[in-house]
Amino acid sequence: MPNVLPPEFSDLEPFAAWAVHGEKARYEKRLASTMDELQEFYDAAFARIDEALAYLERFAVEDLSEEGKRLLWLYCALCTVAFPVEAWRQPRVPDSGPSSIDAVSEPLV
């Protein structure tokens, strides 16, 4: 498979499936994952967060390359999984039962 992230983040390519557009899609992936999977992604992405922030800071959102957009979305997904990993210790919000809150419109990138 060709790389989807900027070349300097090739070590994160195994997690490219997290680099998807839309909070809804990222949240669904979180709910479909085990804690081990979330932890593994979190650890890998968090280890490169300083470099990623430095990269993202260099671009206006509308000037991001396709790879740059993927990197942004991958780190948006890190936000999505940070709650289970850092706070909840489970993929779902505790005591949230069947309730859901869905994104109905978001920025294009």
Partner 1 sequence: MAHFEKPAEGSWTEHYPELGTGPVSYDDSITPEFYESEREAIFRKTWLNVGRVEQLPKVGSYFTKEIDAAGASIVVVRSAKDEIRSFYNICRHRGNKLVWNDYPDREVSGFCRQFTCKYHAWRYALDGECVFVQQESEFFDFDKKDWGLAPIRTEVWEGFIFVNFDPDTETSLHDYMGSIGKGIEGYPFHKLTQVHRYRAEIGANWKLFIDAFAEFYHAPILHGGQYEPEERAKMGDVGYEAIQYAFDGPHASISSWGVIAPPKDPSMVKPIERKLRSGLFGPWDAPDLGMKELPPGVNPTRHRNWGIMSYVFFPNFMILIWKPNWVLTYHYWPTSHNTHVFEGTCYFAPPKNARERLAQELAVVSFKEYGLQDGNTLEATQKTLESNTPVKTFPLNDQEVVLRHLHHHARQYVAHHRAAGGQA
- Where do contacts with partner 1 occur on this chain (CB under 8 A)? 23, 27, 46, 49-50, 53, 56-61, 64, 68, 72, 75-76, 78-80, 82-83, 86-88, 93-107, 109
Q: Give dist(CA 27, CA 61) in Å, integer.
A: 22
The CB density around residue 59, as the number of other CB atoms within 10 Å, is 14
Cβ-contact 44, 11 below 8 angstroms = yes
**Nearest residue (CB) to partner 1, 1 versus 54:** 54
> Which CB atom, from 11 or from 43, has the smaller least distance to partner 1?
43
Q: Which two tokens stand for residue 101?
A: 């809150």
CB of 70 to partner 1, least distance (A): 11
